[in-house]
Amino acid sequence: MRPEPDEDEEAALRRLRLPREGEVLGVVEQMFGGSRMLVRCKDNKLRMVRIPGKIRRRVWIKVGDVVIVKPWEVQGDKKGDVVWRYTKPQVDRLISMGLL
């Protein structure tokens, strides 16, 4: 039997952030120093992504986390920025929706 989700968790599930135009879902495969990591994106490309400063201090990202990546306009097939990190309940919801 699953415990009842608390109010914060329910609110997070209601306002699930989906990838917008020009963004793609991905899973972190490897961490490097300097807030850089290797992400396997849903479009079957490996991208070296970085965590921008405004997200860096608020969100901790580790290997296996599901993130939204915004590819760069230049070198978009190889590099990008992390825009969002999903929590475990949000990942479960993405899977149930068929997005992952």
CA separation for the pair 71, 8 (Å, rounded): 30
CA separation for the pair 61, 52 (Å, rounded): 12
Domains of the chain: 23-97 (2.40.50.140)
Inform me whether the pLDDT recorded for 63 exceeds 80.
yes
Inform me whether the pLDDT recorded for 5 exceeds 90.
no
Under DSSP, is residue 78 helix (H, G, I), strand (E, B) or coil? coil
How much is the pLDDT for 75? Answer: 80
Inform me whether the pLDDT recorded for 12 exceeds 60.
no
Mean pLDDT of all residues in 46-62:
88
H-assigned helices in the chain = 7-14, 53-56, 88-97
